[in-house]
Amino acid sequence: MKRYDIRPNLEKVTAASLILAGEKDSMSPIKESQEIASLIKSATFKVVAGEGHVFNVSSASEFKNCLHDFLKRSRS
């Protein structure tokens, strides 16, 4: 049901970017997230094991840890 394609604009992203994917996400499969990450030069890609699309709720602690680690590394 996706009606947009952001890929042509991703090469313009210069900021450090965290791309997270849920291992069992059927709405945004890992393959799509990997492609997004590969098109952003400064992207960090991580898969949240065993989770679907809304892992920031179902695995809030894991999400927080991923974000915290990313932000900590980005500040260095």
Mean pLDDT by 10 residues, the chain (76 residues): 83 96 94 96 95 94 96 87
pLDDT of residue 2: 67
Alpha carbon of 26 to those of 31, 51, 52, 53: distances in Å? 11, 10, 7, 7
Inter-CA distances, 40 with 3, 34, 44, 54, 63, Å = 21, 10, 9, 23, 21
- The reported pLDDT for the residue numbered 11 is 95
What CA–CA distance (Å, rounded) separates 13 from 59? Answer: 28
**pLDDT number for residue 4:** 84
According to DSSP, the residues that pair with 48 across neighbouring strands are 22
Q: What is residue 3's predicted lDDT score, i.e. its pLDDT? A: 78
